[in-house]
Chains A and B, each alone.
Chain A
């Protein structure tokens, strides 16, 4: 079974803080993805990584950065958190040309 683990289920941070969301997969998947999910807007791709140290912007990368130093770990960084970044954040991974699988999600609140 595919296991994608996100470090926190719930997180509360303050405006202006630097926030790190971690995602780890144990299936040697090449591709990893970060999405945010908001009511009425669906899932939107923030960044993805097709291999170690490689990253590509998704549809809404502004205010975010990512890091992938090891194959199993993909980190999402909010450089200076703002209230409009309050959302559900979902990490996913896949072997190329196979479906992606999601972690449990992190519900992030920025106060």
Chain B
């Protein structure tokens, strides 16, 4: 069974700090990796995707991928209370099947 593991949290960080969210996956053949943000009662919203080893930055968000360690992370700089949500890591296994982690709940304290 292919899996994606995330710490469920909550991860609490003060406003303005860097939040670091981590994810490990079991399918060594995976090539595409995604981070979704989900507010309570809402649907997931894509915030980052990464296909190559290394870092990818978009505004306050940085996704990091290490395929050798089967590890994906999301950094949120200058965290805001509006960043408080559950963050889902997803891995594309094969052509069509996305495997989702159960999410990490982030709380940014004002």
Contacts and interface: CB of A to CB of B under 8 A. Distances in A.
Interface of A: 31, 33, 40-43, 45, 48, 50, 56, 58, 90, 96, 99-105
Interface stretch (B16-24, B63-71, B93-101): B93-101
List the 9 closest pairs (A to B, CB-CB), nearest first: A42-B102, A43-B100, A105-B43, A102-B43, A42-B100, A99-B49, A102-B44, A99-B46, A104-B43
A58 B43 CA distance: 20
A23 B96 CA distance: 18
Contacts of A58: 97
Contacts of A48: 96-97
Given A40-B102, A99-B49, 6 more contacts: A48-B97, A50-B96, A58-B97, A90-B43, A99-B34, A100-B98
B45 interface: yes
A22 B76 CA distance: 35
A103 B49 CA distance: 18
Given A45-B98, A56-B96, A90 B42 contact: no
B107 to A, nearest CB: 17
A41 B102 contact: yes
Interface residues of B, number: 17
A13 B3 CA distance: 33
A2 B101 CA distance: 24
B88 interface: yes
A92 B94 CA distance: 17
B21 to A, nearest CB: 15
B101 A103 contact: no
A104 B42 contact: yes
A18 B94 CA distance: 32
Contacts of A105: 42-43
Contacts of B43: 90, 102-105
